[in-house]
Chain A
Amino acid sequence: MPATPLLVIEGLCKSFFGVQVLFDVGLTLRPGEVLALVGENGSGKSTTMNILGGVHRPDRGRMTIDGTDYAPRGPRDAEARGIAFIHQELNLFRNLTIEENLFIGGFPRLARWLPLIDRRRVREHAAALLAAIDLDLAPNTPVSRLSQGERQLVEIAKALGGDARIVIFDEPTTSLTDRETQRLFAQIERLRDKGIGVIYISHILGDVMRLCDRVTVLRDGHVVGDAARADLTVDRLITLMVGRTIDQIYPPRAPAIRPGPPALEVRGLSQRGMVESLDFTVAQGEVVGVAGLMGAGRSEMARILFGLDPFERGTILVDGRPLERVTPLTAMDRGMAFLTEDRRAEGLLMEASIADNIALPSLPRFAAGVARLLERTRLGDAVERTGRDVQVNATDFAATLAKNLSGGNQQKVVIGKWLLRAPRLFILDEPTRGIDVGAKYEVYKIINQLAAAGTGVLMISSEIEELIGMCDRILVMAHGEIRAEIERAAFDREAILRAAMWDSVRHGAAA
């Protein structure tokens, strides 16, 4: 094992808006090593990597590269020190060729005084880089013609061209076929052979065990394990990721003893590249959780159910009757409500008041006559009542803009705007993301009240703990499919995580 480490991170601490997300995180990367970074969603992996990449600054802690201090002020500093990121969302320009993407920051010139691109040198460099990663494509192929896997390889070539010494892969294989994954791994092994340090972030633990030399495990912002692969098993990794120290408190609720008639039935719902053959039911008064990792297709499913995205096959039945043309309007007419994952982009009108936000979905119910004049007193009263019911913390609902509220209060506004419609089926996508513990508890209470009143709840969450605490049943999704359906009696963190990770068997269709 080489003596001097390439990268050392020590004692990293970071808080966002007063909530600490990293606690003394440290890791070491040696040249020619593939280090896996694993942990549940929200365990602090991406924050750590964002600090490494110069996107965020740490509150405390120190980083060194080759023994010299490294304190990036921005992404360009990271690049200058030889750090390259390969994100899940690729940053290639589809309207340019491979070689142009490799050199877009600055092409080699014909001569110092002549600002023309030396196409021959570009071609040669690019061909050499592509050869180095075994990508058998002409350098002047447009990126738009490449498959997802080929684009990923081009990103690697770009990192190599920039003389990267540390390459970070963030969930690189989620949309790759089996063969493309094999190719990617072969390339990562070659990077290792060249003495480049690789940090590999993935939920697919089978891949981790196959590829990586060492694994660092994060949980709730703490490093809870750091060991050589030889000393680990997949089971051991899962146990490390799962074990929890803080116990969250969930409000007591009487579980649906005798589930009512189905509020939502989904039959064979499929959309190419998104979800495949989804089948499940949500009964009235039941809380059904949806677990899964990022990119498992949970939000995509929710969007299809609410008519925001199309689907090719399958049926959606609400209260036993099929939805004909699924649009947000028809879905809402049948009593559906949808709290979206992205509050800022889709949940709220940030520039509008609390009252306007709460009123928006219910406006047609308060519009009278041919002119559809709003009954402002009745509307105002209803909005006021709902806002107080969900305990939005503001004195004047009509004067306070949504953007000036805390995350928790914003979420209560979103919940409130749907409660005003008295939904029969409420789809909640990450209802407690980015809100503090107190607000979480209040959100849980509201969900329980809804269920008690007979509303069916479909709750998507990345916090398994939360699902276990709240749900009657949990569906586990991976790769756009439902992998497991677990009853309350059989709830078990490890079993859920295992189903979500879906490690050993990869998708069959790729063969």
Chain B
Amino acid sequence: MKKVAIIGAGPAGIEAASVLARNGIEVTLFEKSETPLKNIQDKAFLFPNFQAAQEIADDLSGKLLADGITTVFGVEITDLKWQGTEWKLIDSKEQTYVADAVLVATGYQVFDAHRKEELGYGIYKGVITSLDMEQMIKHGKILNANGDEPKRVTFLQCVGSRDEKSGNHYCSKICCVTAVKQAIEVRKQLPKCEASVFYMDLRMWGQGFEEMYRTAQEKYGVSFVRGRISEAAATFDGRVQLKSEDTLMGLPLKMTTDLLVLMVGMEASCGTKTLGQACGISGDYGFIKTVAPHLYDNDTGKPGLFAAGTCKRPMSIWDSVNDARAAAIAIKDYVDSLPQ
């Protein structure tokens, strides 16, 4: 029986493991955390249908119970070596494992908002990230720095993406719609609270996104301002002062808000960067490089080494899951082609 190792137990890793196991392939799923699906567990509701993230996590976790999947959690694979006929996986404690094929599904990490010093994250309590807001929404406690219900919440797009200063020129793809989703959630939970979104342009690329954006304005009264925030500072009463420009009006803008939510972009995770460099498959910005985007987007160009999900580029959960299914088919084709 052919063996496949999958590194990373996020949506892509689990979905690929499930597809491969159902096709009679023995799969070992490695995850450096003690539990899978950490990035989903951090979320409350998912766009565009506001389905509870926990439902998706539960559904995916259930797939791990299938026959043929062995999970190895709490182990970080730090190196991969091609042995001529199989891959040797080496973990951080120098233990080794072998597999006929490997799928890298090491995912993303969010941009560290501390790097955008001018926005005051980690300095002013009223400045939070989209992850922090997701937790507040999840627990039904959207509170300002003083522990009170905010009167105004402001979202800022493109923090750490499409940003030359931080070195990330690419679009993180999911932040626009996430801000719309979170702004709607704020208005649902706190109907008296104003919600504004500062944006460069809104990229509503997915099915239902444009409708959500329209609903945010028409039904929930979310205001959208085209402009980036140049500076955040605390005010005497513990609020946050923002400086920006409304580029549609052509006017400089200074306002105060109770919460400034930084929509942090996706970056290649540390694990993605480590393995990418170790195997020579590291591409732009540390994401995994594949052979060709149109027809060979799961192939790394190395025999039996594949990649899926957000280790390649920012993508949504559903894109990751679909990509994982495609990777699983490519892996099955590969192992089937190996001599018995």
Are A and B interaction partners?
Answer: no
Please list the residues of chain A having a beta carbon within 8 angstroms of any beta carbon in chain B.
Answer: none
Please list the residues of chain B having a beta carbon within 8 angstroms of any beta carbon in chain A.
Answer: none
